[in-house]
Amino acid sequence: MSIDFKAEVEKRREDLLADLFSLLAINSERDDSLADAEHPFGPGPVKALHKFLEIAERDGYPTKNVDNYAGHFEYGDGDEVLGIFAHMDVVPAGSGWNTDPYTPTIKDGKLYARGSSDDKGPTMACYYGLKIIKELGLPISKKVRFVVGTDEESGWADMDYYFEHSGVKEPDFGFSPDAEFPIINGEKGNITEYLHFAGENSGAARLHTFTGGLRENMVPESATALVSGALPDLAGKLAAFATEYKVAFELAEEDDKYKVTIIGKSAHGASPQSGVNGATYLARFLNQFDFAGPAKDYLAVAGQILFEDHKGEALGVAHTDEKMGALSMNAGVFRFDETVADNTIALNFRYPKGTSPEEIQAVLKELAVVDVTLSEHGHTPHYVPMEDPLVATLLDVYERQTGLRGHEQVIGGGTFGRLLKRGVAYGAMFPDYTDTMHQANEFADVEDLMRAAAIYAEAIYELVK
């Protein structure tokens, strides 16, 4: 049976975009201030989950909502289950957008919105791939379970809860449409380590507060410090620093204190070299003044050691594995307040085989810190061999549809593909694509979404026929 999956996608183009727009219009950022029993991560993620399940119900799938943590729908029957794992939550929009991040806008063939690339756009491309199989009535011998979560961008508590309470068996194999083609069959380990600082704040210059970063898996776009005391030629030195390092800045005076802001560029925490970490740049600038105590230690670590140390070399934790590549480090969240006893810097590590969170922690404890603690949630390195039929099938479909050679990839990003022992990430970004995940003006190329939908349709069919 020969099926033109690209033509089938084209017939459904407008419907696909309409459904996608309805999801993108929902601000599904996690908001713990509004979280409750009915909204475990705030109302936004729940609203997006409900909309997705509503679309599935409209199309005739049986659905299940697992207490607003996650949900799924199923199609087909069989002893084996193919799991598809996607997510409806998004990282904070942040600033610097040219359009409203929750008013999806197509311009020059690009669809701009928070979530267009990560992960609502790929999710709907994959959803329509399965929808084509259903509407054409293609014969299949396995069950497909399409699962969407609401906390992928934070701690994956959605999936912890889902697997414990969904009442269904774990899929035998599967993929997540949340990365890039041709395939991601390996993912580095992922852990956040927190540096703790404490002690009496003193010195001729005084650091009152220092804040930067929204999430551990985002490069801080900007950071702000409130300072006072001996700060000779603060304005002139700040202007010279901004010129030297090509960053923007803001300076304001407030009640005998100065509010200093450095503005860099956000990026995905798995690719910290793609951003400009406003927090480490601000710390580097402030280091020249006469701070003392924990403020001095805090700024020295942030501005001298962490500054552009994307591989952990200055930290002394650099490590490379022949297959999985090098460790990466993102200094993601900075919180200093002289009125509290515990001040922190959150370092997010993507590490390959051959090292561990505990080994990294032991090295970090040698810094000028009072303690180093680990996040409760983390992931160990994950790899599915090229010989696995799942990997081989997905690469074969990719090659057939694109004419490009498939190959394995290992990334620092963490996807739901690693939820399963035989799980990978598959699309939706194509080679040489501009990655705007976790950045301002995030976009998905509309034609690429259509190409991805056709690949997903054929890939799902080949896996379950």
The two tokens of residue 331 are 């200094």
Among the listed residues 19, 29, 89, 445, the single catalytic one is: 89
| DSSP per-residue string spanning 71-122 | EEEEE---SSEEEEEEE--B----S--SS-TTS-EEETTEEESTTTTTTHHH
Do 3 and 11 touch, CB atoms closer than 8 A?
no
Write the secondary structure of 4-57 as one string of H (helix), E (strand) and C (coil). CHHHHHHHCHHHHHHHHHHHHCCCCECCHHHCCCCCECEHHHHHHHHHHHHHHH
Strand partners, 229: 205
Per-residue DSSP letters for 370-431?
SEEEE-S--B--EE--TTSHHHHHHHHHHHHHH-PPP---EESS--GGGGSTTEEE--EEPT
Q: How far apart are CA 426 and CA 430, in angstroms?
A: 10
Q: Give yes or no for a contact between 86 and 415, defined as CB atoms under 8 angstroms apart.
A: no
Give strand pairing partners of 257.
254
> Cβ neighbours of residue 54 under 8 Å, at least 6 residues apart?
none
**Cβ contacts of residue 69 below 8 Å, gap of 6+?**
40, 149, 150, 151, 157, 158, 161, 162, 165
Neighbours of 4 (CB within 10 A): 9
The CB density around residue 11, as the number of other CB atoms within 10 Å, is 11
The yes-or-no answer on residue 89 being catalytic is: yes
DSSP label of 379: B
Residues 6+ away with beta carbon under 8 Å from 88: 23, 28, 45, 48, 49, 52, 119, 120, 123, 148, 149, 150
408 included as an active-site residue: no
Q: Alpha-carbon distance 161 to 181, whole Å?
A: 29
Among the options 118, 119, 152, 180, which is catalytic?
152
* Nearest to 126, CA basis, from 458, 372, 440, 465: 458
Q: Cα dist. 414→79, 178, 314 in Å?
A: 29, 9, 24
Amino acid letter for position 145: R
Active-site residue set: 89, 152
